[in-house]
A = this chain, B = another copy of it.
Amino acid sequence: MSVLKAVFLNASLKSSEEESNTDALFEEVKKIYTNHHVETKSIRLADYHIKYGIADDLGDGDEWPQILEEVKKADIVILGTPVWLGEKSSLATVAMERLYGSSTLKDDDGNPIYLNRVAGTVITGNEDGAKHAARSILYGMSHIGFVIPPNVDAYWVGEAGPGPSFIEANGIENEFTKSHVKWLAHHTIYMANLLKQHPMPVVTFE
């Protein structure tokens, strides 16, 4: 069986010069991926100049096409986001819009590029909003063609109100978060392998 590839799109509002709590949580998922020989690539979206719009390439310095190349290579796409005002970040919204705007592309075999790909999400915030962000991301990914395995929303949030984030709060000790990290990793691997071996055909409309 060929090696699986996972890409992690991190929609932190901070560029990679700064520490990202969402990245720290993804690192836990990555450990399991690595143990199972899944190749991973992390992309910090804030490092790129991604233009606003609904298309795969908006030209004029748009760097989304570079990111899209990595998405097209991946069997598993994990969109990670922090929580602001109880929602996914603006950069996560940009990513969803650009993924949507690229969803009509075909691969070399003439199939939609997201066919038989699997999606999940990783979310951190100091408080409330993870499920709202997961709901938006997983539905959006499903609506544009990804398969959503069970329990692929790994998150940590603290008690209501301002407070420490994942790293500072040592959220990695949270048993619920640990379980979801395992589920996210194992369920995406299982489904990606299964779809690789038994790809779903395109439904045609005669």
Binding site for B on A (CB under 8 A): 13-14, 46, 52-54, 84-91, 93-94, 96-97, 100, 114-115, 127-132, 134-136, 138-140, 142-153, 155-162, 171, 174-177, 179, 182-183, 186-187, 190-191, 194, 198, 200-201, 203, 205
| Other-chain contact of A191, B84, B89, B138, B200 (Cβ < 8 Å) | B200
Q: Tell me what chain A mostly uses at the interface: helix, strand, loop, or mixed.
A: mixed
Which residues from chain B contact A191 at a C-beta distance below 8 Å?
147, 200
A-B contact pairs, 8 of them (CB 8 A): A84-B97, A86-B135, A90-B90, A131-B143, A134-B139, A134-B143, A158-B160, A194-B200
Which residues from chain B contact A87 at a C-beta distance below 8 Å?
93, 96, 136, 140
Query: Which chain B residue shows the least CB distance to A153?
Result: B143
Q: How many copies does the complex hold?
A: 4
Which residues from chain B contact A144 at a C-beta distance below 8 Å?
85, 150
A138 touches B138 (CB 8 A): yes
A149 touches B150 (CB 8 A): no
Which residues from chain B contact A53 at a C-beta distance below 8 Å?
13-14
Distance in angstroms from A127 CB to nearest chain B CB is 8
Which residues from chain B contact A161 at a C-beta distance below 8 Å?
174-177
B13 touches A84 (CB 8 A): no
| Other-chain contact of A54, B84, B88, B146 (Cβ < 8 Å) | B84
